Structure 1
Amino acid sequence: MPKRRKDVIFFDAPPVISAWGSAGGKKEGEGPLASAFDYLTQDAAFADENCANWEQAESMLQQKAAGICLRKAGIAAKDVDLTFAGDLQAQCTASNYTLRTLATPFAGLYGACSTMTEALCLGAAFTAAGLGRQILAMTSSHFCAAERQFRTPLEYGAKRTPTAQWTATAAGACLLRGPGQGGVQILSATFGRVQDYGVTDINNMGAAMMPAAASTLLRYFDATGAAPADFDAIFTGDLGQVGSDLLCEQMEKEGVPLPNHYDCGCLLYDVDSQNVQAGGSGAGCSAAVLCAWVLPRLFDGRFKRVLFLSTGALMSQTTFLQGETIPGIAHCVELGGLV
């Protein structure tokens, strides 16, 4: 049975991620992880799939990732006991439309950019408790859909500040199974606590989310007695360059330096050459990096043990216009090598 110590849930018989799929768009195909993706498209509108708008296109991207994941697992959608999924669209529209196609039992999630790890935490807990044999966890985001919802439509040609991040047109999907079935182990899950340090700038998500990442890491280390040196890598997703620098500074002040820290928003793009300002963001950013780059390294033994956090900014398109501050949250999974 799973056990809880403070904020961390430990799995004595760890569930596994047995298959995964990643999908991305044109900009992701021009980045340093392009060759690692399972699927890339040059047409972010998915016109050849008869999508009429950006929102439909994001759902199609999510369907591609899910389909790849299920094919790798050798199962059909009807064999999935439960799907945890979410995105950045209002009311999780992209996921709702994807699940209209997959027709599995479905629990929609919204944790902004933290949604992928939230889905993994819940999926692992359900699997470990015997409440599902095969659980799908997935998220997506789409640059054009997110800009229209949270900032200004692309046609406005608005300028982007140096602290802004580029919402990934990407999706990732993972299939979770019970212990001993072969796959990357989920050793523990840590649900984050909402942190709000008074940031109001919607173009500086890294600063808004950094306190949540620091809080979750400190709580994890306190509960487990582990140290950063115990891991091959500690991933955040997605603070971008600004937030990553702030996190390393804060953790240094806390006496817990992170020399092995990597951020998905900095891994997905070449910040110096791709005009993405401070790096990538979006619910699909950490999901795609996890499925395209992190899990394969755990699968083939290049990584033995990693921490994977996804961070989310919990404002809405209404609250930031009202001048509200931007709360953040970060969830974490501890991943171990192949069973």
Structure 2
Amino acid sequence: MEIGFAPPISGSWATPENMIHVARRAEQLGYHSLWTFQRLLVPADLNWSEAYHSVQDPLITLAFLAAHTTRIRLGVAVLNMPFISPVVLAKQTTTLDILAGGRLDLGLGLGWADEEYQATGATKHRRGHLADEFLVVLRTLWQNDVAEHHGEFYQVPPTRLEPKPVQRPHPPILLGGHAPAALSRAGRLADGWVSGSQADLTSIGEAVATVKAAAADAGRDPRPLRFVCRGAVRVRPAGPPERQPLTGTLEQVQSDLNRLAEAGITELFVDLNFDPEIGSPRADAQASLRRAEEVLDALAPTR
């Protein structure tokens, strides 16, 4: 199982200096990837998790870190398709893949926040069908010399998208979501699946099996599929045997990583942004960085 790390993107510690420090240290220690996430808005009463109260843009953050790293892959988990045009995203991700030298992994989802749907002018009506068509348009723009598409949601006249991404035929596409339809879509149409911050890690193997079955039913070979887990790690004093996975001592977290690999996860990235003691606007930024350095060293693949 490959191990990645999430740079500071949420809360007080998400400064340019901390981003660079964590990204470079992760690359030095042999981590496979860096991962960001998208959150556009937060309700005025701040009744969501503190990890969502102050979040940097995921693609701009990755482009910034591309300039400060050389090897480590750069992933976003996830961008929400209803909030953006596939044409705009094709241009943005192509540019990012070029700037990064072919290191981009693109995670896509459908989103859940009514506030963000309303503010972006999106609708949840037939959003699963929109996602299917979104992927067709995205791949058409990336792969074809002349792109053309006429569908229910998108109309693309005969046009050219140049330049093309470094990765051919295109950057890997991972789909998020835990609903049966989302898991099926990942198996039918994507290069893999990525779990969310609220995933039940005790039963994640069932989601992996569902995606693989959907791929097989669609006539695809499930073996090359990637299964990426957002590891919302919370380092705490030793907990009881029934503790939540990835919460506890660093030794307990390491044992949890081993169990997730046994469940079929091919890649996991450690994400401290979802620890309320780190990814909060109220947290001490330097203390958060010191804690991150301990985790980076303890869980390093080359340790």
TM-score, normalised to structure 2, is 0.31
Q: Which has the higher strand share?
A: 1
